[in-house]
């Protein structure tokens, strides 16, 4: 492991040499600080809920931005914990957690995928998807209970795809030396997109988009979110990726539209899961928001899509040491 690897993984002082990251962090903190001003114009009946949501946002910001600032190891570890907690929530909501062998296999597959991420071992990272699906299917066979085999295997595969392989793309970004600005941009843009969709939906309204899946979503909200997110995330992307191919205005626009559209699709995807289960929230971990998945649903599709787009343009983790930990094993 080179000094550069150690610095990327463990040294938070690298942050001080990244003015873009410092500005982004400052902006995110400032946004959180001034958010309560908006509560002044909200109806009084909504205020207790808004304050509760805001307090939860402070915790979310601390546990997401904190590890990103600390280093790549903390970042990857925290996304791994997020993936496992999201899986736990999904498994408890669907009842998959009662199939312990299948559940343990998914948890192991998620752990291995994040190991591949911290190892910067992309070939293994890619190979783990088919290998994990095979292992999950086998775990469904071993208890010798063919009843419900398809259901538990399909649920487990979906869960691994979304919260293991999908979210691990977020962690793999940390294999770039200058990952901090990129990740903060991605997270801020995704969360802003949620807020824009909610606000535009309330202000513009219009025809119900998918009333049976998510009764509050309107076409006005969806289009408004795309416009507002593009207007915000695109210039930010041009600044964050300045000097690289992704910094071109058209690539920045594609990335911003991608975040908005896929963010809303992820939201709808988890809404469909909730409607099918007949549940309002998938958990209780985040007061005012519901479960962890109610907050992270937008990320599950955005992370792999943005990863592969940026990866196509200029690669991710290619300049850093590959197989950091596994190279010495054999």
Partner 1 sequence: MDQWTFQPASDLDESVTRRLGSVRREPGLFGWAVHALTASAAAGYMRLYHRLTVRGSEHLPDDPPAIIVANHTSHLDAAAITAALPRCLRREAFSLAADDYFFRTTFRSACAAIAINALPMRRGKAVRQALADLRRRMENGHCLLIVFPEGTRSRTGTLAEFKCGVGMLVAGLSVPIVPAWIDGAHRALPPGKRCPRPAKLEVRFGPTLDFAETPNKRDGWQHVADRCFDAVHQLSDAVN
Residues in contact with partner 1 by the rule CB under 8 A? 88, 91-95, 97-98, 100, 103-104, 107, 151, 276-277, 279, 283-285
In angstroms, the CA 273 to CA 268 distance is 9
Asked whether the beta carbons of 192 and 296 are under 8 A apart, the reply is no
Three-state SS for 78? Answer: helix
Residue with Cβ nearer partner 1 (258 or 293): 293
Closest approach of partner 1 to the CB of residue 158, in Å:
13
Task: Classify each residue of 201-230 as buried b or exposed e, where b means 16 or more C-beta atoms within 10 Å of its C-beta.
Answer: beeeeeeebeeebbeebbebbbbbbbebbb
The residue among 275, 308, 274, 312 whose CA lies nearest residue 291 is: 274
Length of the chain: 330
User: Considering beta carbons, is residue 145 or 308 the nearer one to partner 1?
Assistant: 145
- Tell me whether residue 92 or residue 314 sits nearer to partner 1 (CB atom): 92
Of 208 and 275, nearer to partner 1 (C-beta) is 275
Complex with partner 1: residue 103 or 271, whichever CB lies closer: 103
Residue 67 beta carbon to partner 1: minimum distance, rounded to whole angstroms: 21
DSSP string over 260-324: HHHHHHHHHHHHHHHHHHT-S-S-SSBTTTBSHHHHHTTHHHHHHHHHHHHHHHH-SSTTSPSST
Instruction: Work out how close the CB of 314 gets to partner 1 at its nearest, in angstroms, rounded to a whole number.
Output: 39
Q: Which is nearer to partner 1, 61 or 93 (CB)?
A: 93
CB of 80 to partner 1, least distance (A): 15
Q: How far is the CB of 91 from partner 1 (least distance, A)?
A: 7
CB 290 → partner 1: shortest distance, Å? 10
Locus of tokens 């005012």 = 288
Cβ 81 to partner 1, closest distance in Å?
A: 12
Q: Residue 146 Cβ, how far from partner 1 at the closest point, in Å?
A: 14
Is the Cβ of residue 155 or residue 303 nearer to partner 1 in the bound state?
A: 155
Backbone angles phi, psi at 242, to 5 degrees: -55, 135
Q: Would you call 214 helix, strand, or coil by DSSP? A: strand
Give whichever of 36 and 287 is closer to partner 1, judged by the CB atom. Answer: 287
Nearest to 232 by CA among 188, 178, 295, 197: 188
What does the alpha-carbon distance between residue 247 and residue 319 come to, in Å, rounded to a whole number? Answer: 19
Q: How far apart are CA 161 and CA 153, in angstroms?
A: 12
| Cβ nearer to partner 1, comparing 60 with 91 | 91
Taking the complex as a whole, the smallest distance from the CB of residue 111 to partner 1 amounts, in Å, to 12
DSSP one-letter string for 95-147: TGGGSHHHHHHHHHHHHHHHHHHHTT-HHHHHHHHHHHHHHHHHHHHTT---T
């Amino acid at each position: 492991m080179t000094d550069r690897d150690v610095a990327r993984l463990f040294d938070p002082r690298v942050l001080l040499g990244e003015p873009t990251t410092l500005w982004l962090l400052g902006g995110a903190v400032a946004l959180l600080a001034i958010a309560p001003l908006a509560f002044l114009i909200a109806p009084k009946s909504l205020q207790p809920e808004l304050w509760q949501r805001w307090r939860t946002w402070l915790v979310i910001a601390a546990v997401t931005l904190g590890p990103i600032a600390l280093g790549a190891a903390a970042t990857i570890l925290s996304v791994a914990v997020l993936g496992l907690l999201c899986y736990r929530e999904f498994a408890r909501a669907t009842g998959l957690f009662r199939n312990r062998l299948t559940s343990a296999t998914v948890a192991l597959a998620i752990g291995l995928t994040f190991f591949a991420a911290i190892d910067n071992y992309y070939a293994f990272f890619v190979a783990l998807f088919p290998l994990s699906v095979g292992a999950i299917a086998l775990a469904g066979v071993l208890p010798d209970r063919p009843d419900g085999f398809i259901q538990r295997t399909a649920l487990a595969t979906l869960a691994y795809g979304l919260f293991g392989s999908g979210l691990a793309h977020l962690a793999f970004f940390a294999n770039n030396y200058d990952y901090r600005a990129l990740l903060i941009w991605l997270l801020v843009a995704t969360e802003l997109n949620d807020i824009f969709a909610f606000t535009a939906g309330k202000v513009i309204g219009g025809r119900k988009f998918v009333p049976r899946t998510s009764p509050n979503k309107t076409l006005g909200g969806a289009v408004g979110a795309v416009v507002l997110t593009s207007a915000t995330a695109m210039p930010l992307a041009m600044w964050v990726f300045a000097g690289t191919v992704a910094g071109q205005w058209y690539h920045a626009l594609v990335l911003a539209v991608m975040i908005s559209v896929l963010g809303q699709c992820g939201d709808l995807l988890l809404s469909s899961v909730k409607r099918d289960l007949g549940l309002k929230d998938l958990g209780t971990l985040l007061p005012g928001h519901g479960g962890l998945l109610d907050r992270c649903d937008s990320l599950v599709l955005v992370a792999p899509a943005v990863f592969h787009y940026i990866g196509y343009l200029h690669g991710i983790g290619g300049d850093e040491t590959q197989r950091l930990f596994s190279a010495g094993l054999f």
